Amino acid sequence: MSHTRPAGTEDSGADAKIADAPESWPVERSEDRYRSRMVGMRTDWVEMPGPGGQGTSLAARDYMEHPGAAAALALDDAGRVLLQRQYRHATRHTLWELPAGIIDGEGEGPLATARRELVEEAGLRADTWHELADFFPSPGFSNERIHVFLARGLSEVPAEEIDFEREHEEADLVAEWVPLEEAVHLVLAGRLHNGATVIGILAAHAASRTGFTGLREPAEP
How far does CA 101 lie from the centroid of its chain? 10
C-alpha distances (whole Å) from 68 to each of 33, 63, 95, 189 are 20, 14, 19, 28
Query: Which one of 170, 176, 182, 220 is the catalytic residue?
Result: 170
In whole angstroms, what is the distance from residue 79 CA to residue 119 CA? Answer: 20
Burial (CB count within 10 angstroms: exposed 0-12, middle 13-18, buried 19+), residue 115: buried
* Strand spans (E) along the chain: 27-35, 40-49, 56-65, 69-74, 80-88, 93-97, 100-102, 124-135, 146-156, 174-179
C-alpha angle with apex 42: 194 to 134, nearest 5 degrees?
35
Q: Do residues 60 and 43 lie in contact, with contact meaning Cβ atoms separated by under 8 Å?
A: yes
* Whether residue 97 lies in the annotated active site: no
Give the active site residues. 170
